[in-house]
Structure 1
Amino acid sequence: MKKIKFIVAGVILIVSGLLFSPWVTESFAKQRAINAFNDQWKNVQDGCGFNCKDCGVKTSEKTLLGRKVVIEYACGLLPSDSPEYHKKKELFVSFLGTVH
């Protein structure tokens, strides 16, 4: 009986650790999101990037199993570097470090 309680307690501890994923810090999630986005556009001519005014990570919010990160970026040649030509995208950084 003690063995079953020990196993159940271990499973509960592991599952709660995965759900709240304390190792996915804000700085880790921001860096993973930026790197994943840059990798996606690495070899694209006139692609998308963060080389615009006030572009980059806008918000980072803790969620179950990871973090939600909102980035702002621009694509191609812009008529002017103003927010009306920028785009926003929401990315999810999981507790495994993968970006979706």
Structure 2
Amino acid sequence: MKKIMLSVVLVFIVAGIIFAPWVTVSFAENRVTNKFDGQRKTVSDGCGFNCKDCGVKTTEKVLFGRKVVIEYACGLLPSDSLEYHQKKELFVSFIGTVH
């Protein structure tokens, strides 16, 4: 009986980690923007979200976390147009790390 209960508990724990319901859209967006801004805060003309329609573009629930796509621009731009914007796809894991 103890082995069955242990197996059931393990199945629920593994299912929880795989689907990670605690990694919400807002949690993933905050983790990604904080990580991105933190990496570039000491660079005076580095990359950032201070451009038209920049920031988090999409979030998608995937196994073990969320996939987040951001749009940003780097350096001193001649104009704020889409041709100078870049996109990057990042992953927020079930433990909150950004990759």
Give the TM interval when normalised to the shorter protein: over 0.9
User: What pairs up with 1:51-70 in 2 under 5 angstroms?
Assistant: 51-70=50-69
Residue 25 of structure 1 aligns to which amino acid in structure 2? T
Q: Deviations over 1:34-79 (max 9, x none)?
A: 0000011010121000000000000000000000000000000001
Runs of at least 5 residues in structure 2 that lack an aligned partner in the other structure: none
Aligned to 1:25: 24
Following the alignment from structure 1 to structure 2, what is the Cα–Cα distance between the partners of residues 39 and 10? 38
Following the alignment from structure 1 to structure 2, what is the Cα–Cα distance between the partners of residues 96 and 4? 28
Q: Aligned residues, how many?
A: 99
Runs of at least 5 residues in structure 1 that lack an aligned partner in the other structure: none
Residue 72 of structure 2 aligns to which amino acid in structure 1? Y
SS of residue in 1 equivalent to 2:78? coil
Aligned to 1:97: 96
SS of residue in 2 equivalent to 1:70? strand
- The Cα RMSD (Å) is 0.5
Following the alignment from structure 1 to structure 2, what is the Cα–Cα distance between the partners of residues 64 and 45? 37
Aligned to 1:83: 82
Aligned to 1:6: 5
Once the two structures are TM-superposed, the CA of residue 28 in structure 1 deviates from its matched residue by 0.5
- Structure 1 runs of 4+ aligned residues shifted over 4 Å read none
Once the two structures are TM-superposed, the CA of residue 17 in structure 1 deviates from its matched residue by 0.1
Once the two structures are TM-superposed, the CA of residue 9 in structure 1 deviates from its matched residue by 0.3
State the identity as a percent.
68
